[in-house]
Amino acid sequence: MERAQRKLDHINIALKTGQQRKSGFEDVSFVHQSLPGISLDNVDITAEIGGLTLSSPIFINAMTGGGGLETEKINRELAIAARETGMAMAVGSQMGAIKDPSQEASYKVVRQENPNGILIGNLGGEATVEQAKRASDMIEADAFQIHINAIQELTMPEGDRDFAGILSRIEEINKNLGVPLIIKEVGFGMSKETVEQLHSVGVSIIDVGGFGGTNFARIENERRSKILGYFNEWGIPTAASIVEAVNVSPALSVVGSGGIQNPLEIAKSLALGASGIGIAGHFLKVHKESGLEQLIREINYIHDDFKIIMTALGAINISELRKAKVVISGDTYHWLTQRGIDCTSYAK
């Protein structure tokens, strides 16, 4: 019951604490080109993420399940929105259902509502291969996420304190699961060192889960009496984290996520080298405040405006958009320069 209550707390406190808008995208500017040379009607947003072909690079990132009927209803409606807009969708951590099978319905509902959609399962770094297989089978997953979230766990009053062995468990799951594996952060970002470690054990899809949007240190601090305030500002902003990750190896597929809310931030993330985009907190807020129909309208608006931005940039498809020129300035420039990454390659 404690776990199920935590799932409801996360939703309510995430909505209360909101999105920080500190992901660094204001430091990234497109270089305007006056002769785009393409027609909006021909813009194609089909995306490839680590062997998965998606009709949109944008997907609904992991949020919920395991909190009884309330989370079942949210997952049902997110799955309907995904189905109606052709988007992929991840469920929240399925450990709740691994430990308590009565919670399975709150996850299985996504496959019932979206039998032909691309669905992504989710567990934490403590998961075994056997648990990952059960969770993947539970929703007939097309891909699977393992979240790594040390700062959230350390801030969570009842969280894990032992992070030994995660990399070798990830290696085993990656070898044995049978569907593409995505390793994701949850809003603290990933450094190039972390991405190198993951790449060295065979991981090929990274979701940077950058800082600046939903903040799980703030969420967990709301749930504890002695506040660990120093973690509230801890993390690598999303724009910098995408660049850190994509510079590790061209063989990696990088998902940009963490505070992404609008089509311009999506386009900037792809121009920085991401192949896909995960959005969590913004979709949850639209759904909670305005309902399913408005969420579908919001996703359609994002897709329409994203294509308009691609047209302005002369990018007929996602691989052209990933070559669009950007200038990186401000804190993101300073961060990346000190980290030994040459920002000028994005501008030339």
Judged by CB under 6 A, the number of residues near ligand FNR is: 28
170 CB-near residues (< 8 Å, 6+ apart):
125, 146, 181, 183, 198, 201, 203
Q: Which stretch binds ligand FNR (CB under 6 A): 39-47, 107-115, 161-169, 207-215?
A: 207-215
CB of 192 to ligand FNR, least distance (A): 19
Q: CB pairs under 8 A, 24+ apart, for 32-38?
A: 32/312, 33/313, 33/314, 35/314, 36/311, 36/312, 36/313, 36/314, 37/314, 38/311, 38/314, 38/315, 38/316
| Residue sitting closest to ligand FNR (CB) | 213
Judged by CB under 6 A, does residue 10 bind ligand FNR? yes
Q: How far apart are CA 141 and CA 169, in angstroms?
A: 19
Contact 99, 124 (CB under 8 A): no
CB of 185 to ligand FNR, least distance (A): 7
Q: Which of 214, 275, 311, 332 binds ligand FNR (CB under 6 A)?
A: 214
Q: Which stretch binds ligand FNR (CB under 6 A): 6-14, 171-179, 220-228, 302-310?
A: 6-14
Q: How far apart are CA 26 and CA 279, in angstroms?
A: 18
Judged by CB under 6 A, does residue 279 bind ligand FNR? yes
Q: Which of 24, 67, 92, 235 binds ligand FNR (CB under 6 A)?
A: 92
Judged by CB under 6 A, does residue 284 bind ligand FNR? yes
What are the C-alpha distances in Å from 240 to residues 233, 235, 237, 257, 306? 15, 10, 6, 11, 21
Q: Which of 85, 114, 122, 311 binds ligand FNR (CB under 6 A)?
A: 122
Q: Which residue has the tokens 């996602």?
A: 318
Q: Which of 6, 133, 134, 184 binds ligand FNR (CB under 6 A)?
A: 184
Q: Which of 56, 103, 136, 145 binds ligand FNR (CB under 6 A)?
A: 145
Considering the complex, state which of residue 286 and residue 343 has its C-beta at the smaller distance from ligand FNR.
286
Sites for ligand FNR among residues 146-175 (CB under 6 A): 147
- Our CA angle for 86, 30, 327, nearest 5°, is 130
Q: How far apart are CA 36 and CA 320, in angstroms?
A: 12
Residue numbers of the site for ligand FNR (CB under 6 A)?
10-11, 14, 19, 61-64, 92-93, 122, 145, 147, 184, 186-187, 209, 213-214, 257-260, 279-282, 284
